[in-house]
Structure 1
């Protein structure tokens, strides 16, 4: 990713503001009115003192009305400025957050493996809000206080240009101080944003895994871990506070020094004679009024640096290359014939190969079972079909066309997937079955899919039936119930290719038998890849591929592999002996109890 300097980042950020230039223009006009009222206040003071000194007391009505007028105008300017810029600010946050989320939906799987969900959530929430500091809040202060300084400075030049030029002396010194503070603030802002991501990750893991935390006595350990990251965040924020708290008084003292010198020189008898009493008091008042806007202008530096640091983290995600989708070929419904040709894959360029030179042909409608010990590459091989990852070497063909030739959307339309770790979304059971592109499916189709996946069996016992809310990630349902919903989702999709990754692992024996019957009906006429550890569930597969260390070491149907007496036969005998040993042990226990 290319590296951008501060100005490039800021200009890129201001493009989000540019879309709402009418509202921004309204805020500029409002703040200009506000600044004019500040200068008018100094002018009013001059007129008031001169009127009192000269005895023109008949002007009291006009001066009194002028006070109301000045504050009314200031109120109008403040409203227009604040509302206009707040309108822009919230749209900037909204659009930036949408762009970030939309891009997150397009990023490759590898990005999610390399970045924690807590860090990404922090970017979507905290970092995007910080961006408004640079995009709008800093502009608000710069425009409002900038106009105020210009108005007061111009009025002071009009009254006495010699004294006013003293302000120009302190300008470069203030610039140096602010520049040093700005560089430190930006670095600290990056650390603060990173620490917020750490807090989110720590809290998210502990909250999601609260049962594991408690059963293994890790409550104190997780609390200590959270305290540690929160403490780190506190220290980083305090460093920012110290930097800003030191910078602001230094600038104020410089401005105060100029005002003090100006006051001393202004009381020189020769200079006093050049101004009326009203002008003299108005000049000193205008100089004093400049202290606050000058201080505010120095504080926007820290705001801008926080916003720029946040912008960099957001744009870093937005600039990350999305999934490669250069294919143009599309088909309404594929036949489902698959060919893996000299296929190799590894997650890192210099890492250990996960798949090594695999070649296999799968006919349309064939059911292929993948078995082997954990880490043998079964799930990785299946995950290459929807192109969650692209092969490091070799090719995969669907109906004779390279997967790279298909558009990603069209390719994934041909595939239904049931994972071992079922993902449900916070909605109703029906909404989770008819998820995504199936949202327009009729109620009747949803009910048929639910019946086929044996979802109806437990749904009938729920008060709201298919309209029952499942909670976050289906936490209100059992593991078996969640898995049945995932199977119903795959049935409803009716895709020509079906991937079942431990699809019945969370089911009890009785439910598994029902689901197995349903799956066998669903698999008819579809190319199916079944990943299973329970070998009893794949005995009817057309072909079984036994994998080890990323290679296919045996293949054939259940009977052939048993007769061969190889790895599969040994695995089957091992599992069969374990399952038959359980009732024997149970029987012995019963006999002991009877004795």
Structure 2
């Protein structure tokens, strides 16, 4: 539309066309400057809005804690400050947007006035006729409307680019650990695990290694427990085994093969995880138990629920049995119920390796007893790595590995470690500080 309008303008009168289009270069330069600004300010608005939403989400999801400490007014004030920052940036964006469109509108009026003045002179000199001037004005108006539409489109495009820049950064970022691809053995693993000279620090703390020169061999079918002070790196070892992170140095091997060689999907399919705070999704009980298994039978669901001591409460206490909706993050279930459903999920997966991350630390004695029974059944014939908290979770382990300063400093059975005078495990046991 713009091209055709400009073409007709030059066809009627090249002189008037040059006069009318003389304002275009400065407007184009203004548009470039405005485009850069609006992308930057829009990104700032989105970042500020994300920060305010984070405050709101955290406070609402933890409203009991907020009320318990009488912090309602403080949190409202903090959220108000965040929203005020969003408002300030939005007003700034709106002012610049208004200024840009005011300038483009002024440019359009300037063109009309310039064309009328120059056209009047040309008509008086009989260089063009009144009809030609009228036609030119129609073409100029047609072109001006089209350019105005382009200005709006250009502004919206730049706002979109600014708002989506964070998303593109995430999409374009290449993960250091691939989602899939690698060796897929036709058979499952034996379950031999070895950590060899592992050195690891989290990306946000590169100068503070959590694991520093750690070595540990876990034979297939053995039950090992990790114990140590809070922050000693117990959970980190579990993350490394799952290959959520790669160590900076050393190797983690499964059946004498570096886990980096394996397809991550294959690796994860043979490792079952039961964590301290089980993650459930806002679906039915059946959907949560079957999570990670594409094909299963109803009998398999029932069998694993029975093995996990979950069948009775699912059938007798839930109104719709296995079709009962658990709510967001399992909010409608107790801690023990969520944990037993998580164990059912791990059983259905039938993994060769089992990672128990503080699986009973937050439960009452009755729930712990039921879950310990389920975990004993789950552990049979599997390589088990337990991140220990309560003594009841580690007494039955074949070996206890005691972490200190990022290394294994003691490794033996429970009774053997308790017999070591001034041993670290004995001190931990005595002081009851086996925490995660």
Structure-2-length-normalised TM-score: 0.91
For structure 1, the 5+ residue unaligned runs are 1-146, 577-595
Q: Which residue of 1 aligns with 2:193?
A: 338
Q: Which residue of 2 aligns with 1:218?
A: 71
Do residues 571 (structure 1) and 424 (structure 2) align?
Answer: no
Matching residue of 2:307: 452
How do residues 39-58 of structure 1 correspond to structure 2 at under 5 angstroms? Answer: none
RCO higher in 1 or 2 (8 Å CA, sep ≥ 6)? 2
Question: 1:557 pairs with 407, 413, 427, which one?
Answer: 413
Given the superposition, is the C-alpha separation of residues 358 and 165 from structure 1 closer, same or farther in structure 2, using an over 3 Å criterion?
A: closer
Change (3 A) 1:351 1:269: closer
Change (3 A) 1:177 1:570: closer
- 1:374 CA displacement: 0.9
Q: How big is the shift at 1:444? A: 0.8
- Mapped to 2, the partners of 1:158 and 1:361 lie a distance apart of 86
- TM-fit CA distance, 1:498: 0.3
Q: Which moved more, 1:496-505 or 1:307-316?
A: 307-316
Structure 1 stretch 356-365 or stretch 261-270: which is displaced more? 261-270
- Structure 2 CA distance, aligned partners of 1:268 and 1:380? 83
Alignment-derived partner of residue 500 in structure 1:
356
Describe the shift of the 1:575–1:182 C-alpha distance in structure 2 as closer, same or farther (beyond 3 A). closer
Q: Does the Cα contact within 8 Å between 1:336 and 1:398 map onto a contact in 2?
A: yes
Whose radius of gyration is greater, 1 or 2? 1
Q: Does 1:199 align with 2:56?
A: no
Q: How does 1:111-126 map to 2 (within 5 A)?
A: none
Distance in 2 of aligned mates of 1:180 and 1:573: 69
Q: CA deviation at 1:198?
A: 1.5
Which deviations, in whole Å up to 9, do the C-alpha atoms of 1:111-142 show, x marking residues without a partner? xxxxxxxxxxxxxxxxxxxxxxxxxxxxxxxx
Aligned with 2:15 (options 156, 162, 168): 162
430, 436, 439: which one aligns with 2:286:
430
Q: 1:358 — aligned with what?
A: 214
CA distance in 2, matches of 1:391, 1:261: 70
Counterpart of 1:266 (choices 104, 110, 119) is 119
Alignment equivalent of 2:94, drawn from 241, 265, 279: 241
Deviations along 1:507-528, one digit per CA (max 9) or x if unpaired, are 3211211221221122111000
1:402-481 → structure 2 map (5 Å cutoff): 402-436=258-292, 438-459=293-314, 460-481=316-337
Contact preservation (8 Å) 1:483, 1:506: no
How well do the aligned residues superpose, as a CA RMSD in angstroms?
Answer: 2.3
Question: Are the structure 2 counterparts of residues 271 and 162 from structure 1 closer, same or farther at C-alpha, using a change threshold of 3 Å?
Answer: farther
- Equivalent residues in 2 for 1:60-459, closer than 5 Å: 147=1, 149-268=2-121, 270-271=123-124, 279-325=132-178, 327-348=182-203, 350-436=206-292, 438-459=293-314
Structure 1 residue 360: Cα displacement: 2.1
CA–CA distance in structure 2, aligned partners of residues 429 and 359 of structure 1: 40
The one-character-per-residue Cα deviations of 1:174-225 (angstroms, maximum 9, x if unpaired) are 2222222222222212212222321332222123222222222222222222
Which whole-Å deviations, capped at 9, do the CAs of 1:523-570 have from their partners, x for residues lacking one? 111000111211123211111112222222222212212222423233
Give the CA deviation at 1:378: 0.9
Distance 1:295 1:270 in 2: 28
Q: TM-score, normalised by structure 1?
A: 0.68
SS in 2 for 1:554: strand
**How has the CA–CA distance of structure 1 residues 536 and 571 changed in structure 2, closer, same or farther, with 3 Å as cutoff?**
farther
C-alpha displacement at 1:270, in angstroms? 4.0
Gaps of 5+ in 2: none
Determine if contact 2:192/2:383 at 8 Å carries over to the other structure.
Answer: yes
**555-564 vs 526-535, greater mean Cα deviation:** 555-564
Q: Kindly indicate whether the alpha-carbon contact (under 8 Å) linking 2:122 and 2:128 is maintained by their aligned counterparts in 1.
A: no
Q: Kindly state the Cα deviation for residue 571 of structure 1 after the two structures are TM-superposed.
A: 3.2
Which structure dedicates a bigger proportion of its chain to helix?
1
Once the two structures are TM-superposed, the CA of residue 275 in structure 1 deviates from its matched residue by: 6.2
> What CA distance in whole angstroms lies between the structure 1 residues aligned with 2:201 and 2:346?
28
User: For 2:57 and 2:388, how far apart are their aligned partners in 1?
Assistant: 31
Change (3 A) 1:266 1:319: closer
SS in 1 for 2:362: coil
**Aligned partners of 1:243 and 1:292: how far apart in 2?**
21
How many residues align structurally? 428
- The offset of 1:272, in angstroms, is 8.7
Displacement of 1:379 after TM fit? 0.8
Aligned-residue offset at 1:232? 1.6
CA deviation string 1:123-171 (max 9, x = no partner):
xxxxxxxxxxxxxxxxxxxxxxxx1x33333334444443233112212
